[in-house]
Homo-oligomer: A and B are copies of this chain.
Amino acid sequence: MTGHHTLSETERAVATHLRGLGIDLTAQAAVSNLYRAANAIRSHVSKTVLREADLTWTSFVVLWVVWMWDGIETRHAAAEAAISKATLTGVVRTMERRGLLRRSGDPDDRRLVRLSLTDTGRQLMVELFPRFNAEESYIVSRLSRNRLAELTEGLRTIVEHLETAPGGKSADGAGPTA
């Protein structure tokens, strides 16, 4: 993917469609390619490494977050995984059912729920992540060391720009303003 039209064809169609509307084409191309790349990556990894482990992308991300930050509180885990608290509740239920993850209440503040991996979950990540990373390595293998560094830096700039922005300040959610 994405689609039976190539990137060039799409960009040409866009250009002709939006002629004279005062559109920022460079921004359009950048965002479009960014999202297209993210989709391609998610799809690729889901169909290779994660498929064998019977994990969805989101499940893997949640496991990853809990692996990185053991005992993390649910609201923080949701923010790290870029999903809403409501979504996390469902994913955690699934992962708990499969014995990969554990919920435990905080004795000091009984509103809180803390998450940690089971031994099985930790073992899964130790054996799964290197394979996941191998795909990541494959994904960027066409870029030189310099170009890859520039790409990463550009992405960081965007992320920090959006995350520090005033933004919409919605109630919950996975947004940059959370």
Contact = CB atoms under 8 A, between A and B. Distances in A.
Interface of A: 1-5, 7, 10, 13-14, 17-18, 21-24, 26-31, 33-44, 46-48, 51, 67-69, 76, 79-82, 129-130, 133-134, 136-137, 139-143, 145, 147-152, 154-163, 165, 167-168, 170, 173-178
Given A30-B140, A36-B82, A133-B23, A44 B175 contact: yes
- A-B pairs, top 5 by smallest CB distance, nearest first, are A38-B38, A3-B80, A43-B175, A151-B154, A47-B168
A contacts with B: majority SS? helix
A27 B133 contact: yes
A23 to B, nearest CB: 5
Given A28-B133, A133-B24, A5 B162 contact: no
Interface core residue of A33, A34, A39 (most chain B CB under 10 Å): A34
A161 B147 contact: no
